[in-house]
C-alpha cells in the first residue's frame, strides 16, 4: 500500500476511470461528485476511516463517480490485490464488504418480492405516526400537504417523461422533475424492518442523504434507520430541491 497526500480540490479519481485500487481515508474529507448532462452534482461527503472506490474494484467496473478532496486529505492507496488480501486477513473488513454486497443482492430480491406482495397482499400497517412532508419551498409547490404513512413500504420517485418506460416499482408518491433530473423514477423507500423504520436508496442515480449521511451505491451503505422525531431526507445530491421531512412520533 502507498500513503498519499491530497491538497484541497485535488482529484483522487474521476468518473469513468479504471478501478485500479481503493483509498482508505486516514484524515480529511472528500466529496463524491457525479456528472449529469454535463453538470457536476455533489452527492455527499465521506470522512476519515472510510473506504472509497472499493465497489468498482470488487465489481471490476469503471468508477461511477468522481472523488475530490474537500480539505487536506491523507489516504492509503491499496491496489486490488492488496485490498483483497486485507479483506482475507481482516474479519471486520470482510464482514463489512459482505454486508454491502448482501445489500445489493437483497435489493434485487426485494424488487421481485415487493412486486409480488403489492399484487397479492395488502401492505403492512404502521402503528407509529409517520408523516412525510416537503421542506424545500420549490417542492412544496407540488407537494403541499404532509402525508400520513399508514402503510409501508412507501416509495418516492419521479414521474416518467414521454418515451420513458415504467419504473420497476410503482411509486406511492410520484413527483415532477426537469432535466437534468435530480430525482430517479424509483428513488428511495421508507420501510419497516428489524423492528424499526428505515430509509433505503433504490440505486438512484444521485443517491439520498438522511440526516446528513449520504447513502446509495456510491457510499458505504444503502440504508439507514430513522430516528424518533424529525428526519431530513434529501433525494438527488446536496443541492437538490427534493428535501423531505419524515416525522416519527
This prediction has a pTM of 0.81
What pLDDT, on a 0 to 100 scale, did the predictor assign at position 126? 59
| Domain 123-248 fold | Tumour Suppressor Smad4 (2.60.200)
What pLDDT, on a 0 to 100 scale, did the predictor assign at position 118? 53
What pLDDT, on a 0 to 100 scale, did the predictor assign at position 156? 97
Angstrom distance (rounded) from CA 184 to CA 193: 23
189-194: long-range contacts, CB 8 A cutoff, minimum separation 24? 189/153, 189/154, 189/155, 189/156, 190/130, 190/132, 190/149, 190/152, 190/153, 190/154, 190/156, 190/226, 190/246, 191/152, 191/153, 191/154, 192/124, 192/126, 192/152, 192/153
What pLDDT, on a 0 to 100 scale, did the predictor assign at position 244? 98
Instruction: Check residue 58 and report its DSSP letter.
Output: H
What's the CATH architecture for 2-89? Sandwich (2.60)
Place of cell 478501478: 19
Other Cβ atoms within 10 Å of 3 Cβ, number = 10
What pLDDT, on a 0 to 100 scale, did the predictor assign at position 94? 76
Average pLDDT by stretches of 10, the chain with 249 residues: 94 95 95 90 91 88 94 95 86 75 67 56 62 96 92 93 87 94 96 90 94 91 93 96 95
Place of cell 491523507: 74
Question: Could you tell me which residues come within 8 angstroms of residue 24 by beta carbon, excluding any fewer than 6 positions away?
Answer: 49, 50, 51, 75, 76, 78
Parallel, antiparallel, or unpaired for β 154-158 and 173-175? parallel
Written as one string, the DSSP assignment of 79-141 is: -HHHHHHHHHH-HHHHHHHHHHHHHHHHHHHHHHHHHHHHHHSPPEE--S-EEEEE-SHHHHT
57 in helix, strand or coil?
helix
Listed in order, the ranges of the chain carrying CATH 2.60.200.20 are: 123-248
What pLDDT, on a 0 to 100 scale, did the predictor assign at position 128? 58
Angstrom distance (rounded) from CA 188 to CA 183: 9
Listed in order, the ranges of the chain carrying CATH 2.60.120.10 are: 2-89
Amino acid at each position: 500500500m502507498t500513503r498519499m497526500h491530497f491538497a484541497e480540490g485535488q482529484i483522487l479519481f474521476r468518473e469513468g476511470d479504471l478501478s485500479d485500487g481503493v483509498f482508505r481515508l486516514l484524515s480529511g474529507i472528500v466529496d463524491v461528485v457525479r456528472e449529469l448532462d454535463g453538470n457536476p452534482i455533489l452527492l455527499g461527503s465521506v470522512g476519515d476511516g472510510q473506504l472509497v472506490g472499493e465497489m468498482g474494484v470488487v465489481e471490476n467496473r469503471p468508477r461511477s463517480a468522481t472523488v475530490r478532496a474537500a480539505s487536506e486529505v491523507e489516504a492509503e492507496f491499496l491496489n486490488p490485490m492488496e485490498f483483497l488480501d486485507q479483506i482475507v486477513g481482516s474479519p471486520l473488513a470482510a464482514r463489512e464488504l459482505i454486508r454491502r454486497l448482501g445489500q445489493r443482492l437483497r435489493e434485487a430480491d426485494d424488487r421481485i418480492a415487493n412486486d409480488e406482495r403489492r399484487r397479492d397482499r395488502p401492505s403492512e400497517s404502521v402503528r407509529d405516526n409517520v408523516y412525510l412532508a416537503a421542506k424545500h419551498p420549490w417542492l412544496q409547490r407540488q407537494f403541499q400537504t404532509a402525508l400520513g404513512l399508514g402503510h409501508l413500504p412507501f416509495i418516492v420517485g419521479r414521474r416518467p417523461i414521454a418515451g420513458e418506460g415504467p419504473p420497476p416499482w410503482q411509486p406511492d408518491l410520484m413527483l415532477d422533475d426537469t432535466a437534468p433530473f435530480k430525482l430517479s423514477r424509483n428513488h428511495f423507500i421508507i420501510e419497516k424492518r428489524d423492528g424499526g423504520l428505515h430509509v433505503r436508496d433504490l440505486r438512484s442515480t444521485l443517491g439520498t442523504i438522511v440526516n446528513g449521511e449520504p447513502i446509495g451505491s456510491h457510499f458505504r451503505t444503502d440504508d439507514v434507520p430513522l430516528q424518533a422525531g424529525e428526519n431530513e431526507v434529501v433525494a438527488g445530491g446536496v443541492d437538490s430541491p427534493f428535501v423531505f421531512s419524515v416525522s416519527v412520533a
